[in-house]
Amino acid sequence: MSEEKTTPSPEVPKKSNKATIVIALLSIIIIIQVIKIYLDHQERTEIQAQLSTTEEELATTMQRMEELKVELTQKIEEVKKLGGDVADLQQAKAEIEEQLKRRTQASGKLIKELKDKVEGYELLLKNKDEEIERLKSVNKALLNENVTLKTEKNQLGDSLNRLSQTKQELAGKVALASQLKAENIRIVALNDRGKERESPFRSRQVGKLKIEFTLAENNVAPIEGKKIMIRIIDENNQVLFDVSRGSGTFIYNGKEEFYTAAQEILFDNTRQRLTYLYDKGSDYAPGTYTLEVYCEDYLMGSGKFVVK
């Protein structure tokens, strides 16, 4: 009998296939990790660039405030020599010094606030330059007049008296010309829903009084803080007065007077529009009421309204 030879069947490469799958999975994981690392790096780069830009803007703004501090110091000395008022300049300098002492973290909101302040200080310096030129002109005129008077030796006494009188008149004229005026005075009643009504109006329709007016342009008045007061006076010449609602007193014509409400503002000669909301807290008696607007010791303007 002949022996039959059997051919062995080939084995399936199972282990080889599994290794290939593992390698492929590892490759995918590695690729994903590489992509994530790249994206994280890009994000960090962008954040660092934004922070760098913000910090540069903050540094630039703070540097400008340092420069403004120096400019304000120079302006204070210059205005003092000319005999002008430096209260507003000193206040601005103090604010800048306080801001420079703070250690603040850079942010877009902070930078915007600082830039707005810088613009305000720059406007103050610009307006003060105009005042300095005016003071120089006044001082030059007085100096020329004084030199002329010195040459008139035979009339020296009379000339000095005239100079003193001239200076007093000039000071009086400047003081009068620098007085502020209230224009376009508007008085309306607001009900509980905020609806406005023009005078005359019924007592029950008056939740609050809304008073608005514009400060007239005045190139003589200095840029400085002002206290603007209003007086509401009834037909019996009684001023509406309530300390708990902001009322107080001031001196007018050498006499202490009551005011109904007041605001502290920085007058900057930009035709500012002021608004007062006054809540009396009780009904208004029928009659005609007078509104008076004051600044310091002078009357700025007046108006009337009627309650039925």
Domains parsed from the chain with CATH numbers: 19-123 (no CATH), 182-307 (2.60.40.10)
Mean pLDDT of 119-139: 82
Confidence bin at 161 (pLDDT 50/70/90)? low
Confidence bin at 2 (pLDDT 50/70/90)? very low
Confidence bin at 288 (pLDDT 50/70/90)? very high
Q: Is the pTM of this model over 0.75?
A: no
- H or E stretch at 304: strand 298-307
Return the exposure string of 45-82: e unless at least 16 CB atoms fall within 10 Å of the residue's CB, then b: eeeeeeeeebeebbeebbeebeebbebbeebbebbeee
Residue with tokens 């708990």: 244
pLDDT digit string, tens, across residues 13-44? 566 788 888 888 887 888 887 777 777 767 67
Residue 1: pLDDT over 50: no
CA distance 230 to 251: 14
pLDDT of residue 287: 93
pLDDT of residue 282: 87
pLDDT digit string, tens, across residues 61-90? 878 888 888 888 988 888 888 888 888 888
